[in-house]
């Protein structure tokens, strides 16, 4: 499976307020562009804060988009890898996870948003319905390629489950959870060391 786009979402820490103030992310993401603070060629910031359960604030790049996403009623950082050049799903997923973890680490270190993330839970979507249909065969292929990457990320105790299985029109997706995950910076190093961040 060689998808065109793969996305992962690390959620805001459950102790955080239900209401997330998105406006500080506009300035933060502009500073990230100026400083080249995140992986990828970063281009612009788009503000969708007015859209209920929408994309929030989006940092648009050439190879990757980062966004404070509100979809599904739970805020988190959505990292979407694109321009993959025919990379396998496993390589694309590894890259998306590493870049997403580096982004949440940078956001927390900056401190201007007051947001903390929970790196113990991540959702993954293959945003390419032609290559990855949301059916039994697609799920088997996703699990086969994603399982080793998720084991590198969280260890052998990772719990992986299928999500969005009830609607074939939605993207093929999974959720991975580890009860005792390391901090984002350590998880990014672990995953990079296990296979690089292509």
Structure confidence by residue, pLDDT tens digits, 147-175: 999 999 999 899 999 999 999 999 999 99
Neighbours of 62 (CB within 10 A): 11
Alpha helices in 16-88 (DSSP H): 23-35
Any residues with CB less than 8 A from the CB of 164 and at least 6 apart, and which?
Answer: 125, 134, 170, 171, 172, 173
What span, in angstroms and rounded, lies between the C-alpha atoms of 156 and 60? 34
Query: What pTM, to 2 d.p., does this model score?
Result: 0.93
Distances (CA, A) of 165 to 28, 32, 102, 137: 35, 36, 29, 12
What span, in angstroms and rounded, lies between the C-alpha atoms of 59 and 44? 6
If you count them, how many residues does the chain have? Answer: 198
pLDDT by residue for the chain (198 residues), tens digit each? 888 999 999 999 987 656 789 999 999 999 999 999 999 999 999 999 888 888 899 999 999 999 999 988 889 999 999 988 889 999 999 999 999 999 999 999 999 999 999 999 999 999 988 889 999 999 999 999 999 999 999 998 999 999 999 999 999 999 999 998 899 999 999 999 876 554
């Amino acid at each position: 499976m060689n998808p065109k786009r793969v996305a992962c979402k690390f959620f805001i820490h459950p102790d955080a307020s239900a209401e997330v103030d998105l406006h500080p992310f506009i300035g933060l993401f502009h500073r990230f562009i100026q400083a080249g603070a995140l992986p990828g060629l970063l281009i612009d910031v788009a503000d969708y804060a007015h859209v209920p359960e929408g994309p929030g604030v989006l940092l648009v790049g050439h190879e990757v988009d980062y966004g404070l996403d509100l979809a599904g009623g739970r805020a988190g950082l959505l990292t979407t890898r694109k321009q993959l050049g025919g990379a396998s799903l496993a390589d694309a997923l590894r890259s998306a996870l590493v870049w997403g973890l580096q982004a949440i680490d940078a956001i927390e270190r900056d401190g201007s948003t007051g947001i903390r993330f929970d790196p113990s839970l991540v959702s993954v979507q293959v945003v390419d319905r032609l290559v990855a249909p949301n059916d039994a065969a697609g799920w088997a292929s996703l699990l086969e390629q994603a399982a080793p990457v998720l084991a590198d990320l969280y260890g052998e105790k990772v719990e992986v489950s299928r999500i969005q299985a009830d609607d074939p029109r939605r993207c093929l997706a999974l959720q991975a959870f580890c009860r005792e995950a390391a901090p984002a910076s350590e998880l990014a190093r672990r995953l990079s060391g296990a296979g690089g961040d292509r």
